[in-house]
Amino acid sequence: MGEALDLTIGDIDGNGRYTEADKSIVLELCEKEIIKNEGGIGRYPGTRVVHIDVRGHRARWDKY
């Protein structure tokens, strides 16, 4: 139905390599600008993956 997306994070800040800072940039954008309190954000610590969805209510989780 196109209501969720799994993102694999790369070099967002343009420094030539992936770091946790790159993932933090994406998570902050999702929290403050994209998903806000209207959907889910899966942070998946220790990976490059972020899940976002538009479920209509706030949900957050961390899974390895």
CB within 8 A of 27, min separation 6: which ones? 41, 43, 50
Query: Phi then psi for 38, rounded to 5 degrees?
Result: -105, 5
Query: What is the DSSP code string of 25-56?
Result: HHHHHIIIIISTTSSEEE--TTSSEEEEE--S
Residue 1 has pLDDT above 70, yes or no: yes
Task: Give residue-wise pLDDT tens across range 27-60.
Answer: 999 999 999 999 999 999 999 999 999 999 999 9
The enclosing H or E element of 4 equals strand 4-8
Token look-up 């969720």 returns 4
Mean pLDDT over residues 4-23, rounded? 97
- Angle (nearest 5°) at CA 43 between 40 and 49: 110
- Residue 64: the pLDDT is 65
